[in-house]
Chains A and B, each alone.
Chain A
Amino acid sequence: MPPRQRVPEGPAPDPAVQKLRIQYAKRGRLRFSSTRDFQRALERALRRAAVPMAFSAGFHPHPRISYANAAPTGTASEAEYFEIQLREHRDPAALHRDLDEALPEGLDVVVVREAAAGALADLLEASDWVLDFADVDVATLGAATDRLLASDRIEVTRMMKRGPRTFDVREAVLHAQAGPADGPPYSARLGLRLRHLTPAVRPDDVLSALADVADLRPTRPPLVTRSRQGPLREDGTVADPLASATDEVAVTD
């Protein structure tokens, strides 16, 4: 008897019973991790922390994780998000602790919340960024920022996967302010609020724009950190995308 095509044995995977949204930070040297690097590290950390993940079906079951709008390789962030689905309920606080412990230092869990309705990605409308310069003084940075804000349109060109692309930076800039940095080795800080557009305007695009309009060319690239991302409030500030959700009491059985 010829063997039939093998199918995975056993029952279908357990359904998801809980959806959690997690905010994490990418700090220090691990700002050089890429999105894929993070995904690999996260999947392993979830296993290490024995999180009861829900899996997709098939010979290659995947844990159910959705990622949203990750910061580019090289930028630090205090506000990155993903969502996971569990096949058993877990207490968000306990999961927070276990997952943080299982991730390498520099990839740190900030908040764990029960997911609210709607897609996580839709909540991420804008980001606050902080750019710390080591070799630019506040006055120079301030003047350059004024030039930037005074322009209506600044086109920059960036290499994308499908070749160079030219787009406007100015429209995405909701807010920009120069000031002093926290201390050495940094001398000046630029705070930016960028609206998420397509193509996404990133802080390095703003740097290209600053080079264009104000000839600001730092010899050392600034340290870029996303401090916040979320829905845009009426008043133009960025809200916490997890704030509307409420913590649920853990269900154990």
Chain B
Amino acid sequence: MPGASIFYDLEPLLEQVSKPIQYVGGELNSTVKDWQCGGYDADGRELTVRWALMYPDAYEVGVPNQGVMILYEVLNERADALAERTYSVWPDMEAAMRAAELSQFTVDAHRPVGDFDVFGLSFSTELGYTNMLTALDLAGIPLHAADRGEDDPIVLAGGHAAFNPEPVADFIDAAVVGDGEEAVLAITDHIAAWKRQGRPGGRRELLLRLARTGGVYVPAFYDVDYLPDGRIQRVAPAADTVGVPWRVSKHTVMDLDAWPYPKQPLVPLAESVHERMSVEIFRGCTRGCRFCQAGMITRPVRERSITGIGEMVKKGLEATGFEEVGLLSLSSADHSEIADIAKGLADRYEGTQTGLSLPSTRVDAFNIDLANELTRGGRRSGLTFAPEGGSERIRKVINKMVSEDDLIKTVAAAYGAGWRQVKLYFMCGLPTETDEDVLQIADLAKRVIDVGREVSSRRDIRCTVSIGGFVPKPHTPFQWCAQLDPEQTDARLAKLREAIRSDKRYGAAIGIRYHDGEPGLVEGLLSRGDRRVGRVIEAVWRDGGRFDGWSEHFSYERWMRCAEAAFDDTGVDVAWYTTRERTEHEVLPWDHLDSGLDKDWLWADWQDALDETEVDDCRWTPCFDCGVCPQMNTDIQVGPTGKKLLPLTVV
């Protein structure tokens, strides 16, 4: 019977596999609804709309994900809908499930994923693509959208990576770009109506209806033509798809205070990567860092009000008992009332053993004041800043406006306030970068330690330099640029390491952490790939590729070997997708997905980058015409409201 629990059959497996708690669900604030909660119509047709939501990574990574938590709650609040969660199973569980012939299941009611109407996947990163294939296969859903039947779920991708869904176009039925809250409700409406009408036209008709809204991308309804040199000639709605638009728009939720989700955050029993309650204090970012896809695709800035934040923190803590609250956003110190928020919350929760944290990245003294406020009576272990570029010149290229002196002043203030460790984030492989730009990271780190020792009079302060390889992303000014190949990335990082290690005055005071360049190249292939990359993903998966975000599972050799075979007769290769610079008028695989950003503006910003010209933030300087607001009919929503948080009355 569809929707029946397979828990009894899973139990013997749970006795054998590692960390079985990740497969059982039952977290505080999780929900199980009746499979027929939507009831039946007069003709006995069942009307419930059912979503299986997946974060395609291990439970410990996926369970704290805000996006899935929000959609889960928004959907479950609807009387005629239900949503359950599913995560990637570890290889030991996959093997046991295959041996026992058990399907990919939801952790909430242990229902087979194939029984749901929609299988929604949240892709924060492209490295979850192979995990999607495992889940589809375990669920008994055909890997290719073209092979699916009437009873298979609609496989729907969302999340940031869905802004270029082309590499997974063969495997998904549809994608939604942008905020999911309203989109999932609208999709639910369409499915409910279609079910009520007796499912006219079957699966294809449903997908057509969704595609015609202009807010759901159905790859199968678009034809892609290629030029002889391998570039895309044109992406256009297929001839037999009347009413399907040329471009698909992103969704933007306005008025975050009206969407205070998650209201009842999940509290896992298992340990997760993010052991705290998060409150998103705003969405979007217009600082304009040119490498940052998240900043570009989530515009404009929409703030939650100080009072809305206070309410969410209060309700969330009551509902969960978490001992830490994270004030989350792309650049939390930029909230127009962040000082009052920090002080108000610190006052409210003083003496309650409740920690407050800010993913601090902005480099200025104001951030230190905030961090001090948030850690009032608590321990000050480490602070993180993200200058991203080692030299002043490269910081102009990426539009990260911070001078070296500012940075030094900031860390001095941090060490002076009792912080013992400063972590600095950088990228390697940025456009126009030379060895010199990266080697300056060493000088910077040494200055940081010098200053730190001076202001703190201690020898045991530390600075950790963390460096990631830059991966160019769609919908950014760097979408045209050449990615640095792994050999050069590694060589540059080796030089940097040498420059830091060779100076004995610093010894263990400077730590350096970096990832080698190889995974970045695969991420680059998946980020800027087109439909032809799908066969590489499938080949890698068939060859055993899983959990590509985990170094112990990732195999560069496998990706390269499978890519070579899969691209055999296409005239393109991995380098073509990654280390090749694109020209202005090349049709990019994601051009028909509308993030609101004007392609001409992006190109102009790319040219500005090459000229080392910076652009200011439209929250405090005039609009610089990135295109989003007029295109999406949205507006910046920022405070200040002038309100303050009142003390909570103790009960």
Chain A contact residues, CB within 8 Å of chain B = 2-3, 5-6, 8-10, 28-30, 32-34, 36-38, 40-41, 43-50, 55, 59-61, 73-74, 102-106, 185, 220-221, 223
Tell whether, in the assembled complex, residue A3 and residue B417 are in contact, meaning their CB atoms are under 8 Å apart: yes
**Residue B243 is within 8 A (CB to CB) of chain A in the complex:** no
> Smallest distance from the beta carbon of B649 to chain A beta carbons, Å?
13
**Residue B455 is within 8 A (CB to CB) of chain A in the complex:** yes
Offer 25 A-B interface pairs, CB within 8 angstroms, sorted by A: A2-B458, A3-B416, A6-B379, A6-B380, A28-B26, A32-B14, A32-B23, A33-B21, A34-B19, A34-B21, A37-B269, A37-B271, A40-B269, A41-B267, A44-B267, A44-B322, A45-B321, A46-B321, A48-B318, A50-B651, A74-B20, A104-B26, A104-B27, A105-B26, A221-B15
CA distance A104 to B19 in the complex (A): 18
Name A41's closest neighbour in chain B (CB-CB).
B269
**Residue B28 is within 8 A (CB to CB) of chain A in the complex:** yes
> Smallest distance from the beta carbon of B106 to chain A beta carbons, Å?
13
> Smallest distance from the beta carbon of A133 to chain B beta carbons, Å?
12
Q: Which residues of B are found within 8 Å of A3, using beta-carbon distances?
A: 416-418, 456
> Smallest distance from the beta carbon of B453 to chain A beta carbons, Å?
10
Q: Of the candidates B269, B321, B417, which one forms a contact with A33 in the assembled complex, judged by CB atoms under 8 Å apart?
A: B269
> Smallest distance from the beta carbon of B408 to chain A beta carbons, Å?
18
Interface bin, chain B: 35 or more
- State whether A10 and B377 are in contact (beta carbons under 8 Å apart), knowing that A2-B456, A30-B26, A44-B322 are contacts in the complex: yes
Tell whether, in the assembled complex, residue B7 and residue A29 are in contact, meaning their CB atoms are under 8 Å apart: yes
CA distance A29 to B32 in the complex (A): 14
Tell whether, in the assembled complex, residue B269 and residue A30 are in contact, meaning their CB atoms are under 8 Å apart: yes
Q: Which residues of B are found within 8 Å of A43, using beta-carbon distances?
A: 321, 323
CA distance A46 to B323 in the complex (A): 11
Tell whether, in the assembled complex, residue A29 and residue B24 are in contact, meaning their CB atoms are under 8 Å apart: yes
Chain B contact residues, CB within 8 Å of chain A = 7-8, 11-12, 14-15, 19-21, 23-28, 267, 269-271, 317-323, 351, 353, 376-380, 416-418, 455-458, 651
> Smallest distance from the beta carbon of A46 to chain B beta carbons, Å?
7
CA distance A45 to B532 in the complex (A): 50
Most buried by B among A33, A43, A223: A33
Q: Which residues of B are found within 8 Å of A47, using beta-carbon distances?
A: 317, 321-323, 353
Interface of A is mostly: loop
Give 7 closest A-B pairs by Cβ, nearest first. Answer: A48-B321, A44-B321, A2-B457, A59-B379, A47-B321, A32-B20, A29-B24
CA distance A44 to B26 in the complex (A): 15
- State whether A185 and B318 are in contact (beta carbons under 8 Å apart), knowing that A29-B26, A74-B14, A104-B26 are contacts in the complex: no
CA distance A106 to B269 in the complex (A): 12
> Smallest distance from the beta carbon of A169 to chain B beta carbons, Å?
19
CA distance A73 to B20 in the complex (A): 8
CA distance A102 to B322 in the complex (A): 12
> Smallest distance from the beta carbon of A50 to chain B beta carbons, Å?
8
Tell whether, in the assembled complex, residue A102 and residue B321 are in contact, meaning their CB atoms are under 8 Å apart: yes
Name A9's closest neighbour in chain B (CB-CB).
B377
> Smallest distance from the beta carbon of B324 to chain A beta carbons, Å?
11
Q: Which residues of A are found within 8 Å of B271, using beta-carbon distances?
A: 36-37, 40
Name B455's closest neighbour in chain A (CB-CB).
A2
16 A-B pairs besides A3-B418, A104-B269 with CB distance below 8 A are A2-B456, A10-B351, A29-B25, A29-B26, A33-B21, A37-B21, A37-B270, A41-B28, A43-B321, A47-B323, A48-B320, A73-B20, A74-B14, A102-B321, A103-B28, A106-B26
Name B19's closest neighbour in chain A (CB-CB).
A34
Most buried by A among B15, B19, B376, B651: B15
Name A74's closest neighbour in chain B (CB-CB).
B15
CA distance A34 to B20 in the complex (A): 9
Name A10's closest neighbour in chain B (CB-CB).
B377
Q: Which residues of A are found within 8 Å of B7, using beta-carbon distances?
A: 29
Tell whether, in the assembled complex, residue A32 and residue B24 are in contact, meaning their CB atoms are under 8 Å apart: yes
Q: Which residues of B are found within 8 Å of A30, using beta-carbon distances?
A: 24, 26, 269
- State whether A104 and B28 are in contact (beta carbons under 8 Å apart), knowing that A2-B457, A38-B269 are contacts in the complex: yes
CA distance A188 to B351 in the complex (A): 54
Q: Which residues of B are found within 8 Å of A185, using beta-carbon distances?
A: 8
CA distance A28 to B25 in the complex (A): 11
> Smallest distance from the beta carbon of B87 to chain A beta carbons, Å?
15
Tell whether, in the assembled complex, residue A55 and residue B353 are in contact, meaning their CB atoms are under 8 Å apart: yes
Q: Which residues of B are found within 8 Å of A37, using beta-carbon distances?
A: 21, 269-271
> Smallest distance from the beta carbon of A234 to chain B beta carbons, Å?
36
CA distance A30 to B27 in the complex (A): 9
Q: Which residues of A are found within 8 Å of B319, using beta-carbon distances?
A: 48
Q: Which residues of B are found within 8 Å of A49, using beta-carbon distances?
A: 321
CA distance A60 to B324 in the complex (A): 13
Most buried by B among A30, A59, A104: A104
Q: Which residues of B are found within 8 Å of A10, using beta-carbon distances?
A: 351, 377
CA distance A171 to B137 in the complex (A): 49
Q: Which residues of A are found within 8 Å of B455, using beta-carbon distances?
A: 2
CA distance A28 to B14 in the complex (A): 13
Name B27's closest neighbour in chain A (CB-CB).
A104
Tell whether, in the assembled complex, residue B320 and residue A44 are in contact, meaning their CB atoms are under 8 Å apart: yes
Tell whether, in the assembled complex, residue B377 and residue A8 are in contact, meaning their CB atoms are under 8 Å apart: yes
Q: Which residues of A are found within 8 Å of B19, using beta-carbon distances?
A: 34
Name B24's closest neighbour in chain A (CB-CB).
A29
Tell whether, in the assembled complex, residue A60 and residue B269 are in contact, meaning their CB atoms are under 8 Å apart: no
Name B351's closest neighbour in chain A (CB-CB).
A10
Q: Which residues of B are found within 8 Å of A55, using beta-carbon distances?
A: 353
Tell whether, in the assembled complex, residue B418 and residue A6 are in contact, meaning their CB atoms are under 8 Å apart: yes
CA distance A124 to B7 in the complex (A): 33
CA distance A49 to B319 in the complex (A): 10
CA distance A8 to B418 in the complex (A): 12
CA distance A28 to B26 in the complex (A): 10
> Smallest distance from the beta carbon of B239 to chain A beta carbons, Å?
51
Tell whether, in the assembled complex, residue A44 and residue B418 are in contact, meaning their CB atoms are under 8 Å apart: no
CA distance A41 to B322 in the complex (A): 10
- State whether A61 and B457 are in contact (beta carbons under 8 Å apart), knowing that A3-B417, A47-B323 are contacts in the complex: no
Name B28's closest neighbour in chain A (CB-CB).
A104
CA distance A73 to B18 in the complex (A): 10
- State whether A44 and B323 are in contact (beta carbons under 8 Å apart), knowing that A9-B377, A185-B8 are contacts in the complex: yes
- State whether A59 and B378 are in contact (beta carbons under 8 Å apart), knowing that A44-B323, A48-B320, A104-B27 are contacts in the complex: yes
